[in-house]
């Protein structure tokens, strides 16, 4: 086997590792969410996507994006957008 073949074997192994990592991450996040809901606690919609996602959602809401504003209100997530007084 040449060095190039080994390089491609490493690419395949890296791809496999990424597959396993993302799958485990996904399952872990989903089970954490289920745990929170089962405890009767409120689930923060941005728990795993972070403050950047929250800030983008907040900006859309404050900029009066009528579709997203309606969606956030219907889904009852406005309280998680970090808007003072909400």
Partner 1 sequence: MDDLSKKRGAWGSRIGFLITTWFAAIGIGNMWRFPFRCAMNGGGAFLVPYLLFIITVSLPAVTAEAAAGKYAHSDAVGSMGKVGGLRGGGVMMLVLNLFGAYYLVVVSQSLYWFGHAIKNTFATESSESVWAAFMDNKMLCFGIFFVTLILSAIPPYFGIKAGIERVAKYIGGFAIIVIAIGAIRAITMPGAIDGIVYYLTPDWGKMFTASTMTSALSQAYFTFGAGWGWYLILSSYLKKESDVGFGHLTTGFADTFFALMAGFAIIPTLFASGYNSENIGTLGSSTAYIAMPKVFQGMAGGYIISVLFFAALFFAAYSCAYVLVEVIGSFFIDTLGMSRKKGTIIAAVLLLICGTPAALSSYVLDSLDTIFGCYLLPLLVTVQVISFGYRFGANRLRIAEYNMYGNGYLGKWMTYLYLYWVPVVNVFLMVYFAWSMSGEGNPWYYGWKGFAVILIVTLAVVIGFDRADRKKGLPYDGMPEKADS
Name residues whose C-beta falls within 8 Å of residue 83's C-beta, 6 or more positions apart in sequence.
58, 61, 62
Q: Of 28-57, which residues contact partner 1 (CB under 8 A)?
A: 29-31, 33, 37, 43, 45-46, 48-50, 52-53, 56-57
Give residue 58's region: left, alpha or beta (phi > 0; psi -120 to 50).
alpha
Question: Taking the CA atoms of the chain, what radius of gyration do you get in angstroms?
Answer: 20
Positions that interact with partner 1 (CB under 8 A): 1-2, 4-5, 7-9, 11-12, 15-16, 18-19, 22-23, 25-27, 29-31, 33, 37, 43, 45-46, 48-50, 52-53, 56-57, 60, 65-68, 70-72, 75, 77
């Amino acid at each position: 086997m040449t060095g190039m073949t080994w390089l491609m074997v490493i690419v395949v192994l890296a791809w496999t590792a990424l597959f396993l990592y993302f799958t485990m991450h996904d399952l872990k996040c989903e089970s954490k969410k289920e745990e929170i809901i089962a405890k009767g606690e409120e689930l923060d919609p941005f728990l795993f996507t972070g403050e950047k996602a929250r800030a983008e959602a907040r900006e859309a809401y404050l900029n009066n994006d009528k579709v997203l504003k309606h969606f956030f209100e219907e889904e009852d997530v406005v309280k998680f957008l970090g808007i003072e007084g909400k």
